[in-house]
């Protein structure tokens, strides 16, 4: 495995890195920044000309070794081929996700791990995750996350040799062995509340009341502040929802917008599920990242080639300058660290679940 990093935002710098690996690698993964603002037409021309298998995603920020970057790209060359599949039109209900997986993906005996990258603003991400679990269960490990921009405008953020796209998912099966650790560090301060009305990623009612009214009462009581639609995101970054799961940590959902009494989240929240309102401290979040790393390292029996850190961009917004401590908490001495700050995280927690998480630290050892 060969890793190249460049902090330049230009397509020319990306081309140079990929071309330098074409004679050494059979497949290339790119973790880049959405603020690189690659031209769609120029990207499509480049991707179609590549003689190596290529796939990638663009995120709010990327992680390389001890720092985060708003521009640039990490290019990883693999000496083996990978099964790379682009699922277009993820939000379109006419697209049969399960059939696509069954027809396009390899059997689990041929794949040790799967990288899963999605447009973070696509609908039906949870259905994709459910379909992957339905077809493969936990016979292979999964790691990945949501791509896109913090301005919440959907745009091209995923690419393969087939092109530069939005509203899609990339599924990459690899023979690379892996171990995964998942932890978030958020704790319940109120609930559970019954989700009495919701539609995909929009919570409309909690306990038969407008969701925003319930959320506002709990948060204002806890933080002694006033929450409005205007300051919602700034305050809500410290108060996510947690979906109750049997004998497991909450699955966190990040509320990002207050809209007509409803709450728009990153990721689906099903009707009749139960949610708590959570809160955390900088110490609990950093400790959770450390635990994720410990879990992954303890369960990995091979020599580690790289640590892949998939972490939520909202954890950076919460931790601010202390986020560097979270990076340090997942660093293995002598092992390269790469990663992305995502709009939702995808992973299986040990042998328990495959989930689309928010505000969660996911550590993969490859």
Indicate whether 17 pLDDT > 90.
yes
Q: What is the mean pLDDT of residues 225-243?
A: 90
Tens of pLDDT, residue by residue over 314-330, are 999 999 999 999 999 99
Tens of pLDDT, residue by residue over 173-194, are 999 999 999 999 999 999 999 9
pLDDT for residue 246: 64
DSSP collapsed to 3 states, the chain: CEEEEECCCCHHHHHHHHHHHCCCCCEEEEEEEHHHCCCHHHHHHHHHHCCCEEEEEEECEEEECCEEECCCEEEEEECCCCEEEEECCCCCCCCCHHHHHHHHCCCHHHCCEEEEEEECCCCCHHHHHHHHHHHHCCCCEEEEEEECCCCCCCCCCEEECCEEECCCEEEEEECCCCEEEEECCCEEEEEEEEEEEEECCEEEEECCEEHHHHHHHHHHHHHCCCCCCCCHHHHHCCCCEEECCCCCCCEEEEEEEEECCEEEEECCCCCCCEEEEEECCHHHHHHHHHHHHHHHHHHCCCCCCCEEEEEEHHHHHHHHHHHHHHHHHCCCCCCCEEEEEECCEEEEECCCEEEEECCCEEEEEC
């Amino acid at each position: 495995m060969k890793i190249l990093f460049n902090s330049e935002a230009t397509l020319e710098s990306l081309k140079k890195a990929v071309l330098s690996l074409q004679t050494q690698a059979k497949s290339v993964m790119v973790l880049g920044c959405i603020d690189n603002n690659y031209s769609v037409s120029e990207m499509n021309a480049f991707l179609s000309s590549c003689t190596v298998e290529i796939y990638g995603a663009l995120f709010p920020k990327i992680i390389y070794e001890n720092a985060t970057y708003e521009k640039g790209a990490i290019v990883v060359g693999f000496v083996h081929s990978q099964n790379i599949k682009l699922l277009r039109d993820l939000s379109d209900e006419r697209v049969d996700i399960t059939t696509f997986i069954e027809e396009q993906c390899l059997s689990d005996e041929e794949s040790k791990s799967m990288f899963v990258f999605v447009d973070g603003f696509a609908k039906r991400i949870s259905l994709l995750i459910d379909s992957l679990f339905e077809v493969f269960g936990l016979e292979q490990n999964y790691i990945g996350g949501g791509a896109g921009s913090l301005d919440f405008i959907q745009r091209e953020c995923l690419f393969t040799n087939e092109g530069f796209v939005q509203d899609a998912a990339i599924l990459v099966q690899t023979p690379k062995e892996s171990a995964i650790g998942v932890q978030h560090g958020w704790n319940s301060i109120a609930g559970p509340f019954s989700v009495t009305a919701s539609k995909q990623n929009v919570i409309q009612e909690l306990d038969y009341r407008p969701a925003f009214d319930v959320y506002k009462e709990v948060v204002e009581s806890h933080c002694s502040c006033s929450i409005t639609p205007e300051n919602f995101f700034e305050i809500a970054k410290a108060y996510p929802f947690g979906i109750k799961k049997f004998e497991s940590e909450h699955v966190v959902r990040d509320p990002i917008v207050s809209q007509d009494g409803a709450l728009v989240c990153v990721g689906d929240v099903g009707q009749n599920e139960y949610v708590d309102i959570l809160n955390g401290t900088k110490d609990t979040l950093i400790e959770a990242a450390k635990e994720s790393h410990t879990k992954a390292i303890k369960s990995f029996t091979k020599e580690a080639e790289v640590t892949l850190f998939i972490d939520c961009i909202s954890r950076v917004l919460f931790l601010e300058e202390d986020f560097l401590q979270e990076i340090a908490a997942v660093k293995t001495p002598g092992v390269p660290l790469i990663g992305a700050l995502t709009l939702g995280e995808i992973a299986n927690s040990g042998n328990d679940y495959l989930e689309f998480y928010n505000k969660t630290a996911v550590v993969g050892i490859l």
